[in-house]
Amino acid sequence: MTIKSCPVQPPAWSKQQLRKLFLDCDGDGDGLLTKEEIKKAFRNLGAVIPGYRAWEGLKRADANKDGCVSHDELDALIDYADKLQYTSGTN
């Protein structure tokens, strides 16, 4: 009888790790995340369609509708990414 082992799923990114990732993608350091910067973050997370994830994340997080995610809006973007359960094994 052969016993097959189940693959171990790597842990999901923590909210703290997601925060750091998004902040690191603020390329110009202006404290605002553009759609392109959010797209880069989702690409780094291993998203299959990072452009869609950026659009959806921006739609959910951009409370003042200025087209960017500010530090005040960042928690909503992190909550969205956290629900998607990216793991270090998906990059």
pLDDT per position as a tens digit, 44-71: 999 999 999 999 999 999 999 999 999 9
Domains along the chain with CATH numbers: 15-84 (1.10.238.10)
Residue type for position 14: S
pLDDT at 9: 72
pLDDT per position as a tens digit, 1-42: 566 666 667 899 999 999 999 999 999 999 999 999 999 999
Query: What predicted TM-score, i.e. pTM, was given to this entire model?
Result: 0.86
pLDDT per position as a tens digit, 75-91: 999 999 999 999 975 44
